[in-house]
Amino acid sequence: MSSLEHLMIDYCQHMMLLVEPGELRIIVANKMAEKMLGYSELDLLAMAITNIESSLQDVFYWEDVRNGQYQDIETQDGLYQCADGSLLTVTKSVKIIHHEGRPLILIQARDVQNEHKAEDALAQLLSQLRATLESTGNGILVIDWHGKIANMNRQFSSMWGISDDLLFETEEADILEFIAGQVVEPEAFRVRLQELVGDGETEDILSLQDGRVFECRSRPQYLGEHIIGRVFGFNDITEHKRAEEALRDSRDKLEEQVQKRTASLQMANTQLLAEKARQEDLIKQLEETQMQLLQSEKMASIGQLAAGVAHEINNPIGFVNSNLSTLQEYVDGMLRLLAAYEDVEGKLVNEALQDITLLKQEINIGYLRQDIGELLAESLDGLQRVRRIVKDLKDFSHVGELEKQSANLEAGLDSTLNVVWNEIKYKAEVVKEYGAIPEINCIASQLNQVFMNLLINAVQAIEDHGRITLRTAYDENSVWVEVEDTGKGIKPEQLGKIFDPFFTTKSVGMGTGLGLSLSYGIVNKHNGRIEVKSTVGKGTCFRVLLPRTG
């Protein structure tokens, strides 16, 4: 045998043995035979085939060969003796070939020991699957990709009423047609039974002509990655459907009752909401009226107080001012008379001159002449300051003013500052940054009240000594007044509450919590708004914005 031929049989996946029929000696053995049997090539070439094939039928066969009776064997199971003494189960085929005019026997064998084990395991698995198939509560039908029934369980035949005669004596197509004929819509069910190679899962509800309802689910059956059929599962859900219908009817009746009750409740709720809205409007109107009354009463009290103080102060100021003017005239005359006496001092006798000189020294006539004028001028200036204070009180209160009229907010800011100056002068420096804003139509006394509240809040926010900046400006639509302080500031969580009635950040006894609330109402009444910016530890800035036109 050539090396090429030997190489070819070495690469064969089965055992290859070539036997000389006369002495039954092995003359060729491939690598697979060495591997499977555990002998070396030299050991095999020194052995007879009967040393390996030891079953009784093999002994009879090789005895016939030795006697010249040759016979091919297509497939035959046998046992091969291995080098370690074990027996190997094989399936072999025997061919008689002729080489150089003489017959030779070619044996091809393969190990089927694992195959038998796999067949046994497969048979056991099939038995388990069959038991599982029969134990399930669903009817199972398996159709292969040819459209043939591959399997079904007893539950399937029972729920569809398939008789034994139909099962064992009828074609698969007749069985499928029998079950399709029981469905209310048979054509759709036939189409579903023919959809065998799709890779998706399906779910259908089948209504049967006898009133039952089946749930049908299907999924593809795989062999490896290939679809070889489809598995259908049927579940009788008739009772479930009837319970659903009964529940649905009950639910519909309940929903109808609920809808009636809901409509009644909605009507009652609508009435309650309307009543609540009406009460809220009344409460709001009452709060606004109370706020207006409180503001009017407060402003009226301030106005009456200012008017009374101004009237009471004006009376004594009038006659004191008149008396001081008259006194100044009298003093001027007396000083002129004194000057005239001084002119004639030189004509007096020495004794009289000496007495006058001593008197002039005693009363310090030179200082008296100078100081009398300064005292009178200072007194008159003080009276003018008192008059300005009285005027500022009148301007601040605007007694009797109820309607809007043109007013200068910067003048109102100045008069308000003079009124509260006693509160400010020891704790803060006041810086004015006026922008010469135009006059607007407003109730000046009410806006002065806003300015006073902001100024009082600003000075109370300053703990030791600080600065209050009064700033005004305007644009095409609005004018605004800013009161900025360098106090302790307002915490962010309190900014949203500062305009609420009775809310205050001041310590107990320092405030009522109504100042900013009243100020907000006044500014809102003037169609304006109050803005606030504050940084804790640095200060707060309130801006009052008002429209230039009413």
Cβ atoms of 281 and 288 closer than 8 Å: no
Q: For residue 472, is pLDDT > 90?
A: yes
Cβ atoms of 454 and 470 closer than 8 Å: no
Lookup result for tokens 């034994």: 164
Calpha distance 62→70 (Å, rounded): 9
Q: If you average pLDDT over residues 228-257, what whole number do you get? A: 89
Stronger pLDDT, 468 or 446, i.e. the higher one:
468
Instruction: Give the pLDDT of residue 542.
Output: 93
Calpha distance 524→534 (Å, rounded): 21
User: 196 in helix, strand or coil?
Assistant: coil
Q: For residue 252, is pLDDT > 80?
A: yes
Calpha distance 3→14 (Å, rounded): 19
- pLDDT grade for 148, boundaries at 50, 70 and 90: confident
3-state secondary structure 46-63: CCEHHHCECCHHHHHHHH
- pLDDT grade for 492, boundaries at 50, 70 and 90: confident
Q: For residue 288, is pLDDT > 50?
A: yes
Through-space distance between the first and last CA atoms of the chain, rounded to whole angstroms: 125
Calpha distance 6→32 (Å, rounded): 12
Instruction: Give the pLDDT of residue 416.
Output: 85
Average pLDDT in the chain: 81
Residue 500: name the closest of 516, 524, 523 by CA.
Answer: 516
Instruction: Give the pLDDT of residue 305.
Output: 56
Q: For residue 319, is pLDDT > 70?
A: no
Q: If you average pLDDT over residues 334-340, what whole number do you get? A: 67
Instruction: Give the pLDDT of residue 256.
Output: 87
**Across 4-8, 397-401, 429-433, 498-502, least confident range:** 397-401
**Across 47-61, 119-133, 273-287, 410-424, least confident range:** 119-133
- pLDDT grade for 318, boundaries at 50, 70 and 90: low
Instruction: Give the pLDDT of residue 400.
Output: 47
> In 435-449, which positions are buried (b, 16+ CB within 10 angstroms) versus exposed (e)?
eebeebbbbbbbbbb
Stronger pLDDT, 328 or 449, i.e. the higher one:
449
Q: If you average pLDDT over residues 479-491, what whole number do you get? A: 92
Instruction: Give the pLDDT of residue 185.
Output: 92
- pLDDT grade for 214, boundaries at 50, 70 and 90: very high
User: 491 in helix, strand or coil?
Assistant: coil
Calpha distance 544→527 (Å, rounded): 11
**Across 51-60, 338-347, 506-515, least confident range:** 506-515
Alpha helix stretches (DSSP H) within 364-403: 365-397
- pLDDT grade for 480, boundaries at 50, 70 and 90: very high
Instruction: Give the pLDDT of residue 146.
Output: 84
546 has which bridge partners?
Answer: 479
Calpha distance 17→106 (Å, rounded): 6
For the stretch 395-444, pLDDT in tens is 555 544 567 888 899 988 988 888 788 888 888 999 999 999 999 998 88
DSSP 8-state code for residue 69: -
Instruction: Give the pLDDT of residue 399.
Output: 46
Stronger pLDDT, 515 or 161, i.e. the higher one:
161
Beta strands in 443-547, from DSSP E residues, in sequence order: 466-474, 478-485, 529-535, 539-547
231 has which bridge partners?
Answer: 142, 219
- Structure tokens, 349: 């006798």
Kindly give the interhelix angle for 444-461 and 515-525, rounded to the nearest 10 degrees: 150
For the stretch 105-126, pLDDT in tens is 999 998 887 776 766 666 676 6
Cβ atoms of 147 and 191 closer than 8 Å: no
Domains in the chain and their CATH numbers? 5-116 (3.30.450.20), 134-239 (3.30.450.20), 402-547 (3.30.565.10)
**Across 13-22, 189-198, 432-441, 491-500, least confident range:** 491-500
Beta strands in 21-101, from DSSP E residues, in sequence order: 25-29, 73-81, 87-99
For the stretch 355-404, pLDDT in tens is 677 777 777 777 777 777 777 777 766 776 676 666 666 555 554 456 78
338 has which bridge partners?
Answer: none
- Structure tokens, 539: 């200060």
Instruction: Give the pLDDT of residue 163.
Output: 83
- For residue 104, CA distances in Å to 14, 16, 17, 69 come to 19, 13, 10, 12
